[in-house]
Structures are given as structure tokens and as C-alpha cells.
Amino acid sequence: MEKSKQVQIGLLAVLALLLIANLFGGGFKNWLGKSENDRIREAAAEGGVAQRQAAFSTGNIPGTNINATQLPDVPVTQIKYEEESFDFGVADEGTVVKHLFKFTNTGSEPLIISNAKGSCGCTVPTWPKQPVPPGGNAEISVEFDTKGKPGRQTKSVTVTANTMPTDTHLEITGEVRSKDQPVSKGKK
């Protein structure tokens, strides 16, 4: 066999081996030492705040960055809402429903909300940009625009902060009466 054919076969064999390693073994990193999951577990056991956050962050698929929430590089604290769900009852289509979700920082570190995101563009939260001191109170304002949303509605807001878990959820629900729906006159 020619020398160039032998080189080609050798290269194909190496490529096949690399492909198999990536498909079935997570690459050579698992063959050569500890996996990423092992390193995260060890770091969490050692007790650092950042390591615990990395090991137990919500929505993170272990060993990947898929669905990972960016964690603030600060000590964790606790948040306690007066209510996590609000039912606005019935609202006419086209109105904007507003609600204040009040909360308290029940932990021992300043509470820093890094983000609050509505489940759709019609749900807009506004949150305090300054840290909330331990024992301090604040509120998150949520506005839901009912335009084009007739029927039963449930919208959520995901609040990301230096808490454990990093994400908490608020919900606003109610019935949006269509512009075409007649107004009930009540019982006589």
C-alpha cells in the first residue's frame, strides 16, 4: 500500500476515535481525569458561596451552560414576598393592569435584584436598582397590557437576585373581557 494511503487511513482512524469519544464519553476530559460535575460537587463541598451558587443554580443542566442564569458575585440572602400571585379579576381588553408585589429582604446580606423579566412583551416589571438592606422592604411593579389578550390570562415574572435559588417567580392572573363581549347588567 502506498505511504499516502496509510497516512489517510491513520488520520481517519484518529478522527473516528475523537468522534466516538465526544459522542459517548463527553470528550477526553472524562478519560483523563475528573468530570466537570465532579469538580462542581467538590467545590460545593468546600463551602464557598460562589461555588455553592455554581453547583446549585436553578435551571442549569450540570456540566453545561445551557439555561444557566448569570449569578451575581455577592453573598446570598433571602427574599420574602407578601404575595407571589395576584388575581386582577376581570379587566376590559385594552386596559393596563398594574400591581405592586411587596417584599422584604429577610436575609443578612443586601438584596440585589439583577433582573426581572416578564413571560411575554405584554408583561413589564420594574424593580429596585439599588440594594435592599437586610430587613428592608421594597416592591416590584408589574404592568400587564391586555390589548389583544381576551380570555383567561396567566402571566409570570422571573426575578433574578442574589438569593438561593437565584430565580423566584411572580404571577398575575385574571380574565380579560373582549371588546366584543357585552357588559353584563347584573341580576334584577
Q: Are 91 and 188 in contact (CB under 8 A)?
A: no
Residues 106 and 142 in one domain: yes
Domains: count for the chain: 2
Separation between Cα atoms, residue 76 and residue 14, nearest integer Å: 47
Indicate whether 38 belongs to any domain. Answer: yes
Residues 45 and 109 in one domain: no
Indicate whether 28 belongs to any domain. Answer: yes
pTM above 0.85, yes or no: no
pLDDT in tens, 126-145: 999 999 999 999 999 999 99
| pLDDT at position 61 | 40
Residues 49 and 92 in one domain: no
Separation between Cα atoms, residue 41 and residue 187, nearest integer Å: 64
Residue 161's pLDDT band (boundaries 50, 70, 90)? very high
Residues 33 and 91 in one domain: no
Residue 55's pLDDT band (boundaries 50, 70, 90)? very low
Residues 9 and 94 in one domain: no
Residues 103 and 19 in one domain: no
Indicate whether 95 belongs to any domain. Answer: yes
| pLDDT at position 23 | 65
Residues 169 and 109 in one domain: yes
Residues 18 and 98 in one domain: no
Indicate whether 15 belongs to any domain. Answer: yes
Residue with cell 451575581: 72
Q: How many CB atoms lie within 10 A of CB 13?
A: 10
Domain range for 133: 79-177
Indicate whether 183 belongs to any domain. Answer: no
Which CATH number is 87's domain given? Answer: 2.60.40.10
pLDDT in tens, 28-50: 444 455 544 454 445 444 444 44
What single-letter DSSP state applies at residue 1?
-
pLDDT in tens, 82-106: 999 999 999 999 999 999 999 999 9
pLDDT in tens, 12-26: 888 777 777 666 655
Residues 39 and 83 in one domain: no
Which three cell numbers, joined as nine digits, stand for 89?
379579576
